[in-house]
Amino acid sequence: MPSGSRRRGCSGLTWWGLLLVLAVSGAALATLGRQWSLQTQREREAELRFRGEQIRDAIGRYRSAQEPAAWPTSLDDLLADPRGGFEGGPRHHLRRRWTDPFTGRADWELLPAPPPDSGFVGVRSRSPVRRLSRLDAAATGDEPRVSDWRFVQAALPPSRPPRPPTRGGGSP
């Protein structure tokens, strides 16, 4: 029998089996990668909502901390309120400068206060990434973006003078 001869019974079944295993493994890894990517996106969206709400609440605390009420002019005003606080030191309405989880920087877009006020009333992300959460998506048919979420502090009503105490009983 010559040493270079091929057996007639082999039809490449092993190679076809190996190819099938590689194809199934590749499809499983692609699915796993997609699931991981979606989970990461969900976590970043949840973190964006948390950080945006922290900034929104800090704006409300800043506004109500001193009369007459004023809007902050920068995020630094929320970190150390220049208007003073306890024993002459600055007030801290925000614990730290939160970064945008989508851009990785503290480059929030500041939403300006309505005229004639100055300062800003809220923030939003600068990221153009499409978001997964469509709970509050506009009915325009456009794909909702992360930058569509606005974290705005509503204007507080003007303070009223206290009411005089009333006496118990019926009419005078």
The pLDDT tens digits of the residues spanning 110-167 come to: 999 888 888 899 999 999 888 886 655 544 456 788 888 899 988 654 444 445 555 5
Domain count, the chain: 1
Residue 116 covered by a domain: yes
Q: Are 122 and 151 in contact (CB under 8 A)?
A: yes
Residue 103 covered by a domain: yes
Stronger pLDDT, 164 or 100, i.e. the higher one: 100
Residue 31 CA to residue 20 CA, distance in Å, equals 17
pLDDT at 52: 93
Omega of the bond prior to 68 within 30 degrees of 0, cis? yes
Q: Are 163 and 144 in contact (CB under 8 A)?
A: no
Q: Hey, is 151 helix, strand or coil? A: strand
Residue 70 covered by a domain: yes
pLDDT at 164: 52
Say whether pLDDT at 37 is over 70: yes
Q: Give pLDDT tens digits for 45-98.
A: 999 999 999 999 999 988 888 777 889 889 988 888 877 666 667 788 888 899
- 141: alpha, beta or left? (left if phi > 0; alpha if psi -120 to 50): left
Residue 147 covered by a domain: yes
Residue 105 covered by a domain: yes
Residue 41 covered by a domain: no
Stronger pLDDT, 104 or 2, i.e. the higher one: 104
pLDDT at 70: 85
Residue 138 covered by a domain: yes
pLDDT at 162: 47
Residue 52 is part of which domain span? Answer: 48-152
pLDDT at 160: 46
Residue 8 covered by a domain: no
